[in-house]
Structure formats: C-alpha cells, structure tokens
Amino acid sequence: MKRLVIAAAAAAMLVAGSAHSQTALQPGLWEITDKTTLEGVQPTPPTSKKVCIKGAEATLERLLYPAPEDFAKHGCSFAPGPKQPGIFKARTVCPPNDQLPGVTADAEINYKPDSYQGLGQLLLKDKSGTEVKGSSVMSGKRVGDC
C-alpha cells in the first residue's frame, strides 16, 4: 500500500504534462498546494511548496507540469482541451513501467493571472490490470516577488 501511495504522488506530478499551450501568469513567488486522494488508500496530507517563476517561464503549465524532457522520459502524452478564457483543461496519459502504475489524468483548472484552483481525476492502472481511481485538488497563488 505504501508503494501505491508513493506511485500516486509521482503520478500526481505527471498529471501536469508538457509545455504545449502556454497559459500566462504573473511572474513571482507562488505557493502551490496539491491534495491527492485514492480510493482504498489511507489519505495523505496535502503537499505545499513555493516556486519562483520569472519572465517567459511564468505559465500555469510551468507550475503544474514537470519539465518536458522529464515528461517525455516517462513516455507520457498530453492533449490540451478546448481553449476557454480562464479555464485550462487537459488529459495526460502515462504508461505503466516496472516501478509505477500507468496514469490517466483529466484536469480542469480555473485560473487568473495571480491564482488558480482546480481538480484532476486520476485512474492508475498497473501492468497486471489493477485499477485505482483518485482525485487531486490543486491550487496556487502568487505570494510576492522573488
């Protein structure tokens, strides 16, 4: 079970995809929080961290996703949803490997230049076909300069 929780945390990081359609935010110091829950797995506390984003890297994708090279290294694919003002939608799919289950994640994020909040629906599936459903609540806000 502990391994599954670690895998879920890794999967939540992969939910975010690559830097395809860039969604501009205000540069500065951001505090971001993620709370992932999985069916049948003991809840873990939310994770929170501060991230400094500057200039051209000040995008929602930069806060949500790993670097494109890390994303590609795991064989993941990313499909952005239709563009809507203030709403970011995307589907991310990562195949299973020997250490981690595969994950399909659908995210819908409401954002403004200085904050965002949203929900991701997760489906983890290991090589044996065992599936676990979950969700991730994500939020972030600009807290100052860096």
Cα separation of 11 and 135, whole Å?
11
What is the band of 140 on the pLDDT scale with cuts at 50, 70, 90?
A: very high
Whole-number pLDDT of residue 99: 84
**How many independent structural domains does the chain possess?**
1
Q: 61 forms bridges with which residues in the sheet?
A: none
- The arithmetic mean of pLDDT across residues 112-141, rounded, is 95
- pLDDT tier, 3 (very low <50, low <70, confident <90, very high otherwise): very low
pLDDT at 143: 98
The conformation of residue 25, written as its DSSP 8-state character, comes to: -
Q: Which domain holds residue 14?
A: 2-144
**Comparing 131 with 66, which gets the higher pLDDT?**
131
Pairwise pLDDT comparison (10 vs 106), residue with the higher score? 106
